[in-house]
Amino acid sequence: MDGNYKTFGIVRELDSLGRIVIPKETRDLLGIRLEDPIEFFVDENTIIVRRYKSNCCLFCMDSHDLVHFRNQLICKSCIKEVLKHNREQGPAVQAPPVQEDRRRSKSDKLKQVEDILKEKPNLRQQELAEMLGISQGYVSQLLRKLNNS
């Protein structure tokens, strides 16, 4: 580790079980998704956390016939299976496009949440947060506001 670290000014406390929440902004910056494996390193008095990358297939964990695709390793048999599935099932359903402008007003986000929930009323908060590119906590706040209005 070379010591060239970026600081973000985000402070988090350990809970009673020694856990810490990695802020969504930091996870997004590092490409860490929920349930991704994480590696920990110690460099003198510093703890270094990063997303774990193994040398096996993203889907089946096999380590033979691997191909790099979008920064991931996928084995050739899983690629064939995915292609076969796509031919049989047709194109995947995609979420409505979300603007990248982070400065949208709360009322715009409320409207987006309302529109998405009209189409998919059983959508979980986590899925809604991923679609909108916001934290699950913010989704919870928006849902409370929708329910109170």
- In the chain, the amino acid numbered 133 is G
Residues 61 and 48 in one domain: no
Residues 64 and 48 in one domain: no
Identify the CATH number of the domain in which residue 22 sits.
Answer: 2.10.260.10
Domain count, the chain: 3
Residues 60 and 26 in one domain: no
Model confidence pLDDT, tens digit, residues 1-58: 455 666 667 788 999 999 989 888 888 877 788 888 888 888 888 888 877 777 888 7
Identify the CATH number of the domain in which residue 122 sits.
Answer: 1.10.10
Domain boundaries, position 128: 106-148
Residues 18 and 44 in one domain: yes
What is the C-alpha separation between 108 and 113, in angstroms, rounded?
9
Residues 16 and 49 in one domain: yes
What is the C-alpha separation between 23 and 19, in angstroms, rounded?
13
Element (H, E) at 81: helix 76-89
Q: Give the residue, 66 or 71, on which the prediction is more confident.
A: 66
CA 128 vs CA 6, 46, 120, 145: distances in Å: 30, 35, 10, 15
Residue 32 counted as domain residue? yes
Q: Does residue 18 sit in helix, strand or coil? A: coil
Q: Is the entire prediction scored with pTM above 0.75?
A: no
Model confidence pLDDT, tens digit, residues 100-130: 444 446 778 888 888 888 888 888 888 888 8
